[in-house]
Chain A
Amino acid sequence: MGCDIDLEVEDGEILSMEGAGCIQGEDYAREEYRNPTRVLPTTVRVKGGVLPYVPVKTAEPIPKGELEAAVEELATVEVEAPIELGDVIVEDIRGTGVAIVATRDLPAAEEEPVAAD
């Protein structure tokens, strides 16, 4: 899986590329050089769910430099169960224009959890 790609770069311009096994690899290498982006996976707080957190992700990759600030912003978010996979949790994270979406169904807890005796 994956391949090692070598880029020859001068003054910020990619002159040549070697080692890519397919066109996706070339595109990836170009993007990884110019503007590396990542899908951010994390979790947000849930009220009244079968679990206290629901996994979420950015619907599209966002610039790598925004990852940490995005996590901080999401630490302040709380949603209410039930949640369905694909539900938009935050419409535009960090002004990137990218939404944060839930990555699973999370049913509401049928009854309030009872503290152990």
Chain B
Amino acid sequence: MTESRQAVTGDLDAMRREEHDLVVVGGGPAGLGAAQAAYDEGVDDIVILERDFELGGILQQCVHPGFGLEYFEEELTGPEYAQQFIENVAERGVDIRLDTMVLEVTHDRTVYAVNDEDGVTEIDAEKVILAMGCRERTRDALDIPGSRPAGIFTAGTAQRLINMEGKLPGEKAVILGSGDVGLIMARHMHLEGAEVEAVLEIMPYTGGITRNVVQCLEDFDIPLRTQQTITEIHGNDRVEGVTVQEVDEDFEPIPGTEYEIECDTVLLSVGLIPENELSVDAGVELHSVTGGPIVDETRETNVEDIYACGNVLHVHDVVDWVTEESMIAGRSAARSLQDRVETREEPIEIESTGKLRYVVPDRISTVDPDREEIPLYMRVHAPMEDVFVTLSSGGEELTRTFERRAEPGEMVTLNVDSDTLAELPEPRLELDVVQREEA
């Protein structure tokens, strides 16, 4: 009786309270990289809160190679990449709380977390780094008509089932979406003994990198059909098949092009969305294109002392860049804790125009004598060849870099060196992409 009363009224005095310099929400590659960098910059009171039973995040289910080419200069699988950072944070004595769900982060950096052992803990954090990653878009996001049978999975769920739990989600699959996750799952389903009937892509081009198209589809004669989509899912208890249609330039299904594919499984690989529920509740402002927080070059959000990095900020193509970015966030949070950050009188606004969809960060608001250059990450709207990425300020072009190919699926990086920033005609930077012939 007394116990249940306590639970209802919420006996706040019984709640565990702690104070820490840095709380990292999420123990995937971003959280691990941020914690490591913050420690190496001189902060030793760091807590990582992770809801899974182990660290590593989605990397643990990405058993395929292709990770680490930039950061480690060798080709690792996801678990191998993760393990390196798990060992790094363990060696540094970072406080790691597993099976721990963060319930809320407030705008003044109180973090509420819950686990079996401690119940609810209230942590007063000097700095918070958000590193919750992203999640997959589901059937709901696409409004595919038809019945609602079993057998419809996101590709990532299928990946976890196969690689970590040892369960094959079905025997005959159609995959919707040709991003890297969809391509890799096509190969995986095939190798695990399922038939992959087709990979369908609504765009005229694949969303994945060329290597994956070759090694995941062409190697096994799995057809990639572009400008096609699923317009109906059939089956009552279990998926029995799908109707596929060609689409026009406006992605509208073209009447008369319908055909059926018999299958028992549909894998959806139709995009990733940064997972920002906690951020929004904390008052963090989100970017309309990336779906992640709007940040400055230190990865600080509009809420003072709250930082974001990795796929919660914007979806990255390769984990190496998540690591690079999370280390910026970790280092910045540490320097700020140590009062080593010099704020600019006026922040430099960064804008993407024309053929660019977005750029991260959104502004440069500090001066850092130890920082030689600032990487700007951006994406184009549509595939382009032989282009220059241009960096201008007040109509004056400052620098340009040549890209033989720029695709929506491959992030473009441009590094601005600190000397350039020292003498800008206006406190703003504009980024665009121009065709070589036009330039």
- Chain A residues with CB under 8 Å of chain B are 1-4, 38-43, 45, 50-53, 55-57, 64, 67-68, 71, 85, 103-105
Q: Tell me whether B163 is interfacial, beta carbon within 8 Å.
A: yes
Which chain B residue has the least Cβ–Cβ distance from A55?
A: B63
Which residues of chain B come closer than 8 Å to A50, judged between CB atoms? 53-54
Q: Are B165 and A52 in contact (CB under 8 A)?
A: yes
Q: Tell me whether B210 is interfacial, beta carbon within 8 Å.
A: yes
Q: Are B80 and A1 in contact (CB under 8 A)?
A: no
Which residues of chain A come closer than 8 Å to B210, judged between CB atoms? 2, 4
A8 nearest CB across to chain B (Å) = 20
- Chain B residues with CB under 8 Å of chain A are 53-54, 60, 63-65, 75-80, 82-83, 162-166, 191-193, 209-211, 215, 219, 404, 410
| A85 to B85 alpha-carbon distance, docked (Å) | 14
Q: Are A38 and B215 in contact (CB under 8 A)?
A: yes
Q: Are A3 and B404 in contact (CB under 8 A)?
A: yes
B362 nearest CB across to chain A (Å) = 25
A39-B75, A43-B166, A104-B82 are known contacts. Are A57 and B65 too (CB-CB below 8 A)?
Answer: yes
Q: Are B163 and A53 in contact (CB under 8 A)?
A: yes
Which residues of chain A come closer than 8 Å to B215, judged between CB atoms? 38
| A50 to B80 alpha-carbon distance, docked (Å) | 17
The one of A53, A57, A71, A85 that contacts B191, using a Cβ cutoff of 8 Å: A71
| A103 to B163 alpha-carbon distance, docked (Å) | 12
Q: Are A43 and B162 in contact (CB under 8 A)?
A: yes
Q: Are B60 and A104 in contact (CB under 8 A)?
A: yes
Q: Are B191 and A67 in contact (CB under 8 A)?
A: yes
Q: Are B191 and A68 in contact (CB under 8 A)?
A: yes
The one of B64, B78, B163, B192 that contacts A71, using a Cβ cutoff of 8 Å: B192
Q: Are A55 and B77 in contact (CB under 8 A)?
A: yes
Q: Are A41 and B63 in contact (CB under 8 A)?
A: yes
B77 nearest CB across to chain A (Å) = 5
Which residues of chain A come closer than 8 Å to B63, judged between CB atoms? 41-43, 55-57, 103
Which residues of chain B come closer than 8 Å to A38, judged between CB atoms? 215, 219
